[in-house]
Structure 1
Amino acid sequence: MAHTTIQVTKQTRDHLAALAEERGLSIGQSADALAAAHPTAAQRAERVAAARAHAREVIGVDVSDEEFASLDVLGNLRRIAAQKALARPGRNAT
């Protein structure tokens, strides 16, 4: 892989070096991890499109992008988790 140089202030360089050292990484490895953890808007859109295509394939139903956008998947997961927690035997009632 080709490498390049970026210019930052000495303060930023020192800060990045300290963060990298705390994690046992080089500054370059730390920058790579940061970039991987924060995808661009285009990368997020690609992931959403791939996830929707996979979901369509798995469920066998053509769900439009508008229908996907209106789904509250996280809200449904929270509701299910709450129901399971409440149904757990020996749960302390408050």
Structure 2
Amino acid sequence: MATTSIQVPRETRDHLAALAAERGLTLGRLVQQLAAQVLTEAQIAGRLQADRAAARRNMGIDLADEEFDQGPDVLSNICRIAAEKVRAARGTAA
């Protein structure tokens, strides 16, 4: 695999080196993992289109992109419900 160098402030390099050491990684491997966690706009758009295509296929209906955009935010609703259940199990209020 070809490698390259990047220039960052010394403090950033030291911080990344400390994170890498804590995880038992090389600095290059840490940067590679961090970069893999953040999607580009093109990757996000591609995943969105793939997810919508799967939803259309599984639901058996052909919703337009605009209809998806106007629909409820299902993931946020799932996260909200899960958080409410955790709080209820712990006996804490929202």
Query: TM-score, structure 2 length as denominator?
Result: 0.75
Distance in 1 between the 2:13 and 2:25 partners? 14
User: Quick one: percent identity of the two aligned structures?
Assistant: 53
Task: List structure 1 segments (4+ residues) > 4 angstroms apart after TM superposition.
Answer: 78-83
The structure number with the bigger radius of gyration is 1
Tell me which residue corresponds to 1:67.
67
Alignment partner, residue 27 of structure 1: 27
Q: 1:81 Cα shift?
A: 5.0
Deviations 1:61-82 (A, max 9, x none): 1111111112221354357658
The code of the aligned residue for 2:33 comes to A
Structure 2: gaps (5+ residues): 86-90
Aligned residue identity for 2:68 = F
Which 5+ residue runs of structure 1 have no aligned equivalent? 86-91
- The CA RMSD over aligned residues, in Å, is 2.4
Q: How many residues align?
A: 86
Q: CA deviation at 1:56?
A: 1.1
Alignment of 1:1-94 (within 5 A): 1-72=1-72, 73-77=74-78, 85=85
Separation in 2 of the partners of 1:55 and 1:47?
A: 12
Q: Distance in 2 between matches of 1:22 and 1:82?
A: 30
Residue 54 of structure 1: how far off its partner (Å): 1.1
